[in-house]
Structure 1
Amino acid sequence: MPAEELHAFDALFTQLGAKSRSDGVRSVVRMASGFLEFSREDSAKLDEIRYELGKIGTNVNQIALAANRGRAPMVKAQWASVDELRRSLPLVAKALSQIIAERRRQGVALFRKFVEAQEGARHG
């Protein structure tokens, strides 16, 4: 393999968070096969989204608590917005979790199909 291509592979493997070239090759093959593989950057972004959703939920609950105690007077429209946020945030978090779970499920199904094909090739 030319040095230029090897450097490109190494850069990709670093971006994927691979600890070795073997790990990097496995990640690339799994990604190409549809397995759930997040780059280090994507994993960090997902963690950040989950963290921010939690913070937003906490803040919304604090706003509602303060308003209920009379510390933060709100008009009807503001209450409606807070209530909508309180209902929506768990749904957003659940949707994110479902997307990740579905991608994992698809990856497992692809892996099982691959294993079955390999076993069939050995026996057939």
Structure 2
Amino acid sequence: MSDTHPITPTQFAAVELRVGRITSAENFPQARKPAYILQVDFGPELGTRTSSAQITDLYQPEDLVGRLVVGVVNLPPKQIGPVRSECLITGFHTESGAVALCAPDREVPLGARLM
């Protein structure tokens, strides 16, 4: 069993987890660890955001375009080398340490918020 730290519903509600669609994925050769630069469309309210994602073990750039993902959209931007990462794409570590993307299993509107 993991060592969890309970949070309140208000604390959970402060994290904006939204659905987006990857519109572009490119190699990020300047990253310290292998990564892609993603452009993710979060719908008309939030628009397209850039993210640096260390998901190279399980995904190729051409396989990512068009996929739905879940991203945290209310973290402050983070400068990663020449890239300004504007959202955090979520995923789970496999037993080998690779990252598997977190994504809805059905079509949902872009920008929909996890509740």
TM-score (norm 1): 0.18
Q: Which has the larger radius of gyration?
A: 1
Which has a greater percent of strand? Answer: 2
TM-score (norm 2): 0.19
Q: Whose RCO is larger (CA < 8 A, sep 6+)?
A: 2
